[in-house]
Amino acid sequence: MQMSIVIAPDSFKGSLTSAQVAEAMAKGVTRVLPQADLTLVPLSDGGEGLVDSLVVASGGRLLEFAVTGPLGTPVTAKMGLMGDGQTAVIEMAQASGLILVPENERNPLVTTTFGTGELIKKALELGCNHLIIGIGGSATNDGGMGMAQALGFRFFDDQGEPLGPGGGELARLARIDASDKDPRLADVQIEVACDVNNPLTGPQGAAHIYGPQKGATPEMVEFLDAALARYDRILQSDLGQDVGKVPGAGAAGGLGAGLMALLEGRLVSGIELVLDVLDFDKKTKGSNLVLTGEGKFDAQSAFGKVPMGVAHRARALGVPVVVVAGSVLPSAEILHGEGVTAYFSILNQPMSLDDAMINGAQLIEHQVAEVVRLFSAVNEK
């Protein structure tokens, strides 16, 4: 019997992209089953790899633009144009990500999402009418103000002076003027890939939960939270948008709130969005096995991560799912109840993290070969 296998992994962050992981898995399968019918579907949950995943799968193309980075200096950011020529895929981290800010310069009082707005503007210039925006990995806490400023929105203090960049400026916010916003926004559908449920403010909000990793001191966290609360009130009074308590409003330093309130974006599960766009169910129906994976597999994988999204879809189709991960923690056991048939670590002997990351492709190939050897033997009986 010829085996039909779908290979649908996430990236192994810091080591391999999802496309590289998929290729390594495919090599492992063909070692054992050279005639297997393989379908490779590299995935992203809406964060790192979103652009590559959707562009490659749709036969689109990658574009690069010089935009304003989180500290106001130029950076080069890539954007995807999907095969339909109408859908742009944007990762906010490309323009406004924490990875772009040296650790000793991280300060969410001053970092801006202006470059993300510039990418959106580039998509409008290309004639796109559908935007998919992943909002993981931000360096910012400005509620999406910078993004909106790049698109023509104006923010003023009580003296009528325009606000500058950064989340700290929101503490002076008195008025939002949307009269000069880019008119092309009216004809665009915006879907926001978001897999956190944080509100805009409060103990679980953007500043308290994510501010410290962006360089905020305890005093800055309180200041930023109050600034976002002010922003929330003015979004309501000036634009009639009450989004602060919506799950995901606090994502990416409040960019989730900004995209909803200012651009009428719709927040959706990142992995569910990606699976739908890539027509995962159609590709998987009738297959014998799905292989997926990620760098670290544990109980947290149940919350919007690639393996869980894959497992839920495959379970509904009656297809077994095997996870091959960089590391597997004991808490992963609970995920058997979520549709994961079995899971395995690629670590086949004691080794350092550096060695595991350097040799990731070979380790994945070897482990997948062993998984498929066992699976095919059982199914031959």
pTM over 0.75: yes
Last residue of a domain, one of 270, 298, 322: 270
Which residue's structure tokens are 């159609």?
Answer: 282
Task: Give the number of other CB atoms < 10 A from CB of residue 73.
Answer: 9
* Whether 77 and 94 share a structural domain: yes
Instruction: Count Cα neighbours of 150 within 13 Å in the Cβ-side half-sphere.
Output: 27
Do 21 and 103 lie in one domain? The reply is no
Based on DSSP, count helices (H) and strands (E) in the chain, helices before strands. 13, 15
120, part of any domain: yes
Segments forming the whole domain that contains residue 219: 50-270
Whether 187 is in a domain gets the answer: yes
pLDDT tens digits in sequence order for the chain, 381 residues long = 689 999 999 988 878 888 899 999 999 999 999 999 999 999 887 777 788 888 888 889 999 999 999 999 999 999 999 999 999 999 999 999 999 999 999 999 999 999 999 999 999 999 999 999 999 889 999 999 999 999 999 999 999 999 999 999 999 999 999 999 999 999 999 999 987 889 999 999 999 999 999 999 999 999 999 999 999 999 999 999 999 999 999 999 999 999 999 999 999 988 888 899 889 999 999 999 999 999 888 877 767 788 999 999 999 999 999 999 988 888 888 888 888 999 999 998 888 888 888 888 999 999 999 999 999 888 775
Predicted confidence (pLDDT) per residue in 188-211, tens digit: 999 999 878 899 999 999 999 999
Asked if residue 212 and residue 85 are part of one domain, the reply reads yes
Tell the residue number behind the tokens 């040799």, with chain if given.
Answer: 359
Does 63 map to a domain?
yes
Q: Is residue 104 part of a domain?
A: yes
Q: How many domains does the chain have?
A: 2
- Asked which of 242, 270, 298 is the last residue of a domain, the reply is 270
159 and 241, same domain (yes or no): yes
Q: Is the dihedral of CA 261, 265, 266, 270 positive or negative?
A: negative
Predicted confidence (pLDDT) per residue in 200-250, tens digit: 999 999 999 999 999 999 999 999 999 999 999 999 999 999 999 999 999
Structure confidence by residue, pLDDT tens digits, 165-186: 999 999 999 999 999 999 999 9
Q: Report the percent of the chain where pLDDT is more than 70.
A: 99
Segments in 4-113 forming alpha helices (H): 18-32, 50-58, 92-96
Task: Round to whole Å and give the CA distance between 290 and 334.
Answer: 19
Assess whether 105 and 73 both reside in one domain: yes
What are all long-range contacts of 334-342, with beta carbons under 8 Å and residues at least 24 apart?
Answer: 334/299, 334/302, 335/297, 335/299, 335/301, 335/302, 335/307, 335/308, 335/311, 338/302, 338/308, 338/311, 338/312, 339/308, 339/311, 339/312, 339/314, 339/315, 340/307, 340/308, 340/311, 342/371
Query: Would 186 be classed as within a structural domain?
Result: yes
User: Are residues 318 and 237 part of one domain?
Assistant: no
Q: Where are the beta strands (DSSP E) in 139-287?
A: 154-156, 175-177, 189-193, 266-268
Q: Is residue 134 situated within a structural domain?
A: yes
Round to whole Å and give the CA distance between 256 and 91: 13
CA dihedral 252, 274, 49, 60 (to 10 degrees): -120
26 and 78 in a single domain? The answer is no
User: Could you identify the residue written with the tokens 């400023």?
Assistant: 149
